[in-house]
Amino acid sequence: MIEEGSLGHPHRLAGALALGVGAVAAVGSVLQHRSVTRAATIEQDIESEGLRLPGDLLHHFVEAEDGGRIHVVEGGTGPVVMLLHGFLLDSSIWAHQFRDLAHRHRVIAIDHRGHGKSLPGVGALGVRRLAADLAAVLEELDLSKVLLVGHSMGGMVALQLVEDSRETIRRRVTGMVLASTLAGPFFQMPGWVGLARVAAPASARAALFASRVGVPSVLSQDLRYWASRFGFGSDARPAQVRFVEALYTATSSRTLAGLLPSLALFDLFASLGSIDEPVLVVVGSHDRLTPPRAARRMAGALPHAQLAELARCGHMPMIERPHEFSRLLDEFSAKIERRS
């Protein structure tokens, strides 16, 4: 029984509870901030992770018809491996693959328009626009027998190219690797398409508005870190997370807003059965963004697919399991060469 004059009065009790909750929240916030502070990474740590592109690569640009400029990075000689990065990232995520593969392959990576050093141009952004850019690069460089490797959004771009330009694929591409990607909606639920048609454009407008009023510049450092950390598996190191966080932060709100509706509505799952080329589907067992069940479903719908699941890996296999991922690419490339 609570005696009079202590916490018995309802207002006092509510106040005490509020103070208690506030104290717990404050302690939690401090502990979380300390955790993130301990994870603070300097440039040398990122370099020690091998997350900087080699200095001897060739950098050039392919001009698009609408004024866009697509940044292309390449090195090495041999069968062509073309690397397509994911949403809000850029070609630097493939640093390990350049080192691992360039002695046996011509390794080429691009920055999708609006990412990295590529310029957006005046055209509307969307997966279809990025696929047209990819076709332009393949034609401009006159590439053949290419192994297309798409990570996340990059895999969607590769699938869109199959849908939009089967002739380009037939002449230029001998196989694909779809890593941490989806062929259909993010959520398999009734009404998702209708919801996405409304919510995605609204989210895009909100992102642009937030950019105009300066919200990205005041976002909590802790929040940015944990948002980036969500894409990794349980074994990720702080330098890896900070590297991806910096790429997310560097990509403009215009790019985010331009691509978000297209990604939310992307659905080429029904077309997978028409893909004649061999496909390697790669997924991390701890991928929360494009989970293994989605990868298995996609691999099952492809006529000539094999599935590789990387233990304890999240959404970033090229960073989390770089050498294992490179080995998969190398072996799959060799398999395709023997086939052709």
Q: Is 121 left (phi over 0), alpha (psi -120 to 50) or beta?
A: left
Nearest Cα to 260, choosing from 196, 217, 181, 213? 196
Rounded CA gap, 287 and 231, in Å?
7
CA dihedral over 335, 50, 82, 265, signed as positive or negative:
positive
Domains of the chain in sequence order: 50-185+267-339 (3.40.50.1820)
Sequence-distant (6+) residues with CB within 8 A of 103 are 76
Rounded CA gap, 240 and 127, in Å?
27
**Tokens found for residue 248:** 């997310």
Tell me the pLDDT band of 217, cut-offs 50, 70 and 90. very low
pLDDT at 8 over 50: no
Sequence-distant (6+) residues with CB within 8 A of 247 are 88, 89, 90, 92, 93
- 133-183 pLDDT, tens per residue? 999 999 999 999 999 999 999 999 999 999 999 999 999 999 999 999 999
Nearest Cα to 281, choosing from 172, 143, 149? 149
Task: Tell me the average pLDDT across 238-267.
Answer: 90
Rounded CA gap, 298 and 219, in Å?
36
Q: Are 52 and 92 in contact (CB under 8 A)?
A: yes
**Tokens found for residue 71:** 């940044």
Burial class of residue 70, CB neighbours in 10 A (0-12, 13-18, 19+): buried
Strands (E) located in 184-225: none
- 172-212 pLDDT, tens per residue? 999 999 999 999 876 555 555 565 555 555 555 565 555 56
Residue with tokens 């996405």: 196
What phi and psi, each to the nearest 5 degrees, are found at residue 237?
-100, 150
Higher pLDDT among residues 11 and 50, named by residue: 50
SS3 category, 84:
strand
pTM reported for the whole predicted model: 0.83
